[in-house]
Amino acid sequence: MSAVPARVDSFRHEALFYAGQDRFVAGTLPFVLDGLEQDEAVLVVESAPRIALLREALGADANQVEFADMAAVGSNPARIVPAWQEFVERHSNQRRLRGIGEPIWAERSPSELAECQRHESLLNVAFAGGPPWWLLCPYDTEGLDGSVVEEAKRSHPFVWEPAGQTTSDRYRGLDASGAPFDWPLEPPPASAVKFGFDGVTLGDVRWFIGHYGNAAGLWPREAGDLVAVINEIATNSVRHGGGHGELSTWTDGHAVICEVRDTGRYDRPLADRRRPGPEAGAPRGLWLANQLCDLVQIRSLPQGTVVRVHKYLPHAA
């Protein structure tokens, strides 16, 4: 791997392609050490095994680095941007900073992978025009499909391969990174329970979700969380999505899944990743969904908006 470049003067989002543990250390260690030499705050959000490797390689210098387990921070990929925002806000007034974050690994489900890839694009939007800092995103090419690596080249303005660092000629650009997300979802199964709702029947929605969640095996508190989330989303459909919507609910053996469709248009790509303000009217339904559910999928389609939430069953958590 080549030496890291000098300081950055804007947000730099870079993919690091590596193959195996040794190449992971070879790529990330110089990056971290360079940051420490420049008195930059450094946060590494990685898997526990990767953190152990990097701690060992850093030796005593590891005490100067912040570490967090990506399995906890990014189990729901939509929670990763807020974690980086907190890090930037905490340090940017005093120091420059850099981070390492690896949200994508081979064991991610297809649904989680799609949301991770969306997350990687939205990072460009979330930090554009803000304080200068540098985020390095490792991708283990030994365990990932080639299509995942190709998508990383579209979501990162810079890439770091064994031959060196370069700009990505496949980067989709800032506007496209925040464009409405229309990747298709698998249709609900034939076994899904579906019914329409409007402002008069929101109480029926709450009752049904609570009953369904408990019957499916969620703990009472988890079922209550799901009721709160679907109530917020359905209320948004009534207020902003044409006054009505359709609810579909099913289980897949791993999670209780609820989907709300309406005819509204969702064009605020970071609305579910920014903490709502204190004012009473601040939108908070999608933020709440990401705090209380294990996965949230939002799609903006020509015919309207789809919000699908996953609440993992206790035996699958």
**264 and 232 within one domain:** yes
- Boundary (domain end) residue, out of 144, 177, 210: 177
Residue 2: what pLDDT? 45
- pLDDT tens for each residue of 176-192: 999 999 988 999 999 99
Q: When comparing pLDDT for 125 and 91, which is higher? A: 125
Q: What SS3 class is residue 248? A: strand
**156 and 15 within one domain:** yes
37: in domain: yes
| Integer Cα distance of 141 and 144 in angstroms | 5
183: in domain: no
Residue 198: what pLDDT? 97
54: in domain: yes
**161 and 24 within one domain:** yes
Q: Could you tell me which residues are beta bridge partners of residue 197?
A: 245
Q: Is the pLDDT of residue 281 over 60?
A: no
**Domain with 100 in it:** 11-177
**227 and 102 within one domain:** no
Q: Is the pLDDT of residue 315 over 80?
A: no
3: in domain: no
Q: Is the pLDDT of residue 282 over 80?
A: no
**What's the whole-number mean pLDDT along residues 53-64?**
98
Q: What is the CATH number of the domain that holds 99?
A: 3.40.50.300
**152 and 232 within one domain:** no
Phi, psi (rounded to 5 degrees) for 48: -55, -45
> How many separate domains does the chain show?
2
Give the pLDDT band (50/70/90) at residue 6.
low
pTM over 0.85: yes
CA angle 49, 54, 55 (to 5 degrees): 95
Strands (DSSP E) contained in 70-109 are 97-101
- pLDDT tens for each residue of 145-167: 999 999 999 999 999 987 788 99
Residue 39: what pLDDT? 93
Longest pairwise C-alpha distance within the chain: 63
Buried b (16+ CB within 10 A) or exposed e, 22-49: ebbbebbbebbbbbbeeebbbbbbbeee
Mean pLDDT of the residues in the chain: 93
Q: In the chain, what percentage of residues exceed pLDDT 70?
A: 96
Q: Is the pLDDT of residue 278 over 60?
A: yes
| Integer Cα distance of 135 and 124 in angstroms | 10
**139 and 42 within one domain:** yes
Q: What SS3 class is residue 160? A: strand
Q: Is the pLDDT of residue 277 over 80?
A: no
**Residue recorded with tokens 């990383």:** 152
**152 and 100 within one domain:** yes
225: in domain: yes
Decide the pairing of beta strands 304-312 and 255-262. antiparallel
| Integer Cα distance of 303 and 26 in angstroms | 48
- pLDDT tens for each residue of 245-268: 999 999 999 999 999 999 998 888
**120 and 256 within one domain:** no
Buried b (16+ CB within 10 A) or exposed e, 239-248: eebeebbbbb
**310 and 209 within one domain:** yes
Q: When comparing pLDDT for 93 and 206, which is higher? A: 206
6: in domain: no
187: in domain: no
| Integer Cα distance of 281 and 283 in angstroms | 6
**141 and 25 within one domain:** yes
Q: What SS3 class is residue 170? A: coil
Q: Is the pLDDT of residue 5 over 90?
A: no
- Boundary (domain end) residue, out of 125, 145, 177: 177
5: in domain: no
Q: In the chain, what percentage of residues exceed pLDDT 90?
A: 84
**89 and 163 within one domain:** yes
**232 and 116 within one domain:** no
Q: Is the pLDDT of residue 121 over 60?
A: yes
